Amino acid sequence: MLAALSYDPLVYIVLGPLRLSPHGLGIALGFMLGARLMLPAAAKRGISGDDVGTLLVRAAVGAIIGARIAYVINHFGDYTDDLLGIVRIWEGGISLLGGFAGAIIAAIPEMRRRRLSFWQVMDAAAPGMAVGVIIGRIGDLVVADHLGKATDDFALGYRCPPARVDTAVECVAGPGGVVHQPALYDLLLTIVLLVILLRIRRRDRWDGFLICVFGALYGLNRFIEDWFRIDETHGLGLTGSQWTALAAMLVCGSWLVFGRRTPQWGRWNERESDGVATTPSMTAPAPAAGEE
């Protein structure tokens, strides 16, 4: 067996009276880089930079709210004696999948108002979402967050530092012990997902294809990764994130296999004239059997 990874985390960067978290900086940088990757993909679909900018502002607010709500729902027992703790988000406690859901929900009304296709917007955003996960997970690793269950020496495991060294969360194996690093597993799997998305987007496909691939494969990533986490379970030994990931995986995967065309809902960019749709996605036939 190879030795586990070992390093001293950097939980805070101290700048005078300020204490900055590399975790938070990673999330912010991931959002900005993901947005930058989205811009040219959106332009190819006729979505302007102004449209993208407005959607991203709403998505950022929705992501914060959704990430907190999902975390609180999954860990509500932690707040029964301190309900005000629910709003103290600066003390930590957010959900990545909840952030995705909140961002999408917050942006939908603006997509509809601007008559943008939900599926075209989400296809443009899909690779950027993967980039956001990757950069955010780097921040997790810097602070040693999401440390998982104890394991034997493992090349991708993390050897817990001495007791004098702070980590973002408790290292359950104790000083010198080795634990799983779900954040690292998620980072590596999402890099593979990003490569897949960048390759398949080179070909024209039906609107919604890319985001369905993202939903199916990232759902699979999270379903696998959460087996190594220490988290509350909610039936059948699954965490809240695993149930959410399973739902995304089944819905998106089923549509890729059986739907194989743009869903009817969310096509707000289409205007009908004499009962005939004027955009290609409405009239494009479903691919023949055996085609991607």
In a domain, 6, yes or no: no
In a domain, 175, yes or no: no
177: Cα within 13 Å, side-chain hemisphere: 14
For residue 217, the model assigns a pLDDT of 98
Q: What is the mean pLDDT of the chain?
A: 89
In a domain, 54, yes or no: yes
Lowest mean pLDDT of 15-19, 121-125, 176-180, 216-220, name the range: 15-19
Q: Under a CB-based contact definition with an 8 Å cutoff, are residues 195 and 179 in contact?
A: no
Residue 2 — very low, low, confident or very high, per pLDDT cuts 50/70/90?
A: low
In a domain, 242, yes or no: yes
Backbone CA torsion sign across 247, 62, 232, 132: positive
Looking at the chain, the whole-number percentage of residues with pLDDT higher than 90 is 72
In a domain, 89, yes or no: yes
In a domain, 273, yes or no: no
- CA distance linking residue 81 with residue 95, whole number of Å: 21
pLDDT tens digits for range 193-251: 999 999 999 999 999 999 999 999 999 999 999 999 998 888 899 999 999 999 999 99
In a domain, 11, yes or no: no
Question: Is the confidence at residue 287, as pLDDT, over 80?
Answer: no
For residue 281, the model assigns a pLDDT of 45
For residue 6, the model assigns a pLDDT of 92
pLDDT tens digits for range 67-122: 999 989 888 877 888 888 888 887 778 889 999 999 999 999 999 999 999 999 99
In a domain, 176, yes or no: no
Domain count within the chain: 1
How is residue 90 written in tokens? 């600066």
Residue 169 — very low, low, confident or very high, per pLDDT cuts 50/70/90?
A: very high
The mean per-residue pLDDT over the stretch 8-28 comes to 88
Burial class (CB in 10 A: 0-12, 13-18, 19+), 270: middle
Find residue 273's DSSP bridge partners: 276
Domain range holding 229? 20-146+181-267
For residue 291, the model assigns a pLDDT of 42
Looking at the chain, the whole-number percentage of residues with pLDDT higher than 70 is 92
- CA distance linking residue 286 with residue 191, whole number of Å: 30
Backbone CA torsion sign across 170, 176, 178, 184: positive
